[in-house]
Chain A
Amino acid sequence: MTQELDHATRVLAEVAATGGGEAAVAVRRTANALTRFANSVIHQNVADETTTVLLTLHAQGRTASGSTTLTTPDGLAALVARTRAAAALCPPDATWPGLAPPTPLTGSAPCDEATAGAEPAVRAAQVRAFVDAAGGLSTAGYCRTTAHVGAFANSAGQAVTGAVSEAGIDGIARLGGADAVARDAAVRVADLDGAVLGARAAGKVRALGDPVDLPPGDYEVVLEAGAVADILENFGAHGFNGKTFAERRSFAELGAAQFDPAVTMVADVAEGGLPFDSEGTPRGRLALVDAGTTAGVAHDRRSAAEVGAAANGYAVAGSSWGPFPLYLGLEPGPAGGAGPAHPAVDPAAAALVAGVARGLLVTDFWYTRILDTRSLVITGLTRNGVWLIEDGQVVRPVTNLRFTQAYPRALAPGNVRAVGGTPTRVPREWLGGWMNSPALHLAHWHFTGGAAG
Chain B
Amino acid sequence: MTEFEVAEAAVQGALDAGARYADARVMHRRHEAMHARNGEVEQLHQSEDSGVGVRALVGSSWGFFAVPEPTTAGARAAGRRAAAIAAAGAAVAGPPTDLTPGTPAVASWASACEVDPLEVPLSTKGDLLVGVTAAMRRAGADLATALYEVWDTAKWFVSSEGHRIDQRIRECGAAMSATAIGEGETQIRSYPGARGDFRTAGWEFVDALDLPAHADRVAAEARALLTAPACPAGETTLILGGEQLALQIHESVGHAIELDRILGWEAAFAGTSWLDLAKLGNLRYGSPLMNITIDPTIPGALGSFGFDDEGTAAAARYAVREGVWTGVLAGRDSAAAAGLDYAGSVRADGWARLPMVRMTNVGLEPGPHTLDEIIAATDDGVLMETNRSWSIDDRRLNFQFGCEVGYEIRNGRRGRLLRNPTYTGIGPVFWGSMDMLSSETVPYGTPNCGKGQPGQIGHTGHPAAPARFRNVRVGVSG
Report which A residues bind B (CB closer than 8 A). 32, 34-52, 63-72, 75, 78-79, 82-83, 86-87, 89-91, 93-95, 119-121, 123-125, 127-128, 131, 138, 140-142, 144, 170-172, 174, 179, 181, 247-249, 318, 320, 366-375, 377-381, 383, 400, 402, 404-406, 409, 429-430, 446, 448-449, 451-453
Q: How large is the interface on B (under 10, 10 to 19, 20 to 34, 35 or more residues)?
A: 35 or more
Q: Can you list 24 pairs linking A and B with CB atoms under 8 Å apart? A: A34-B454, A42-B93, A43-B61, A43-B89, A46-B64, A48-B53, A65-B44, A65-B46, A67-B47, A68-B47, A89-B126, A120-B85, A138-B264, A142-B268, A170-B269, A249-B179, A374-B182, A374-B185, A379-B389, A380-B391, A383-B394, A404-B477, A406-B478, A453-B398
CB-CB under 8 A from B424, the residues of chain A are 402, 448-449
Within 442-478 of B, Cβ neighbours of A (below 8 Å) are at 450, 453-455, 473, 476-478
Nearest 4 A/B pairs, CB to CB: A41-B94, A120-B88, A42-B89, A48-B66
Report which B residues bind A (CB closer than 8 A). 33, 35, 40-51, 53, 60-69, 81, 84-86, 88-89, 91-94, 97, 121-123, 126, 130, 142-143, 147, 179, 181-182, 184-186, 263-269, 352-354, 388-394, 397-398, 400, 402, 420, 422, 424-426, 429, 450, 453-455, 473, 476-478
CB-CB under 8 A from B50, the residues of chain A are 69-70
**Measured CA separation A94–B38 after assembly (Å):** 12
CB-CB under 8 A from B422, the residues of chain A are 371, 379, 404
Task: Determine if B126 and A90 form an interchain contact, defined as CB atoms under 8 angstroms apart.
Answer: yes
CB-CB under 8 A from B263, the residues of chain A are 39
**Measured CA separation A179–B402 after assembly (Å):** 28
Task: Determine if B265 and A404 form an interchain contact, defined as CB atoms under 8 angstroms apart.
Answer: no
Return the chain A residue nearest B56 by Cβ: A45
CB-CB under 8 A from B143, the residues of chain A are 247, 249
Q: When A44-B61, A446-B478 are in contact, do A174 and B450 touch as well, CB less than 8 Å? A: no
CB-CB under 8 A from B88, the residues of chain A are 35, 42, 45, 119-121, 123-124
Return the chain B residue nearest A174 by Cβ: B267
Counting chain B CB atoms within 10 Å of each CB, the highest count among A121, A318, A379, A406 belongs to: A379
CB-CB under 8 A from A383, the residues of chain B are 393-394
**Measured CA separation A375–B1 after assembly (Å):** 57
Q: When A44-B354, A72-B69 are in contact, do A320 and B394 touch as well, CB less than 8 Å? A: no
Q: How far is the CB of B356 from chain A (nearest CB, A)?
A: 8
Q: How far is the CB of B275 from chain A (nearest CB, A)?
A: 14
**Measured CA separation A205–B473 after assembly (Å):** 32
**Measured CA separation A119–B65 after assembly (Å):** 13
CB-CB under 8 A from B426, the residues of chain A are 452-453
Q: When A39-B94, A430-B450 are in contact, do A89 and B121 touch as well, CB less than 8 Å? A: yes
Task: Determine if B268 and A141 form an interchain contact, defined as CB atoms under 8 angstroms apart.
Answer: yes
Task: Determine if A43 and B62 form an interchain contact, defined as CB atoms under 8 angstroms apart.
Answer: yes
Which of these, B122, B181, B266, contacts A248 with CB under 8 Å? Answer: B181
Q: How far is the CB of B163 from chain A (nearest CB, A)?
A: 21
Task: Determine if B92 and A47 form an interchain contact, defined as CB atoms under 8 angstroms apart.
Answer: no
**Measured CA separation A377–B230 after assembly (Å):** 15
Q: When A47-B64, A91-B40 are in contact, do A374 and B266 touch as well, CB less than 8 Å? A: no
Counting chain A CB atoms within 10 Å of each CB, the highest count among B47, B50, B263, B424 belongs to: B47
Task: Determine if B268 and A320 form an interchain contact, defined as CB atoms under 8 angstroms apart.
Answer: no
**Measured CA separation A274–B268 after assembly (Å):** 28
Q: How far is the CB of A169 from chain B (nearest CB, A)?
A: 11
Which of these, B43, B68, B97, B182, contacts A70 with CB under 8 Å? Answer: B68
Q: How far is the CB of A184 from chain B (nearest CB, A)?
A: 14
Which of these, B86, B122, B186, B454, contacts A249 with CB under 8 Å? Answer: B186
Return the chain A residue nearest B39 by Cβ: A91
Which of these, A42, A172, A406, A453, contacts B268 with CB under 8 Å? Answer: A172
Task: Determine if A94 and B45 form an interchain contact, defined as CB atoms under 8 angstroms apart.
Answer: no
Task: Determine if B181 and A69 form an interchain contact, defined as CB atoms under 8 angstroms apart.
Answer: no
Q: How far is the CB of B445 from chain A (nearest CB, A)?
A: 19
Extra inter-chain contacts (17) besides given A90-B126, A172-B268, CB under 8 Å: A41-B94, A44-B354, A47-B65, A63-B44, A70-B48, A89-B121, A93-B40, A121-B88, A127-B91, A140-B264, A320-B42, A374-B181, A381-B398, A400-B393, A402-B391, A448-B424, A453-B398
Q: When A67-B45, A249-B143, A372-B185 are in contact, do A43 and B390 touch as well, CB less than 8 Å? A: no
Counting chain A CB atoms within 10 Å of each CB, the highest count among B64, B85, B476 belongs to: B85
Task: Determine if A140 and B46 form an interchain contact, defined as CB atoms under 8 angstroms apart.
Answer: no
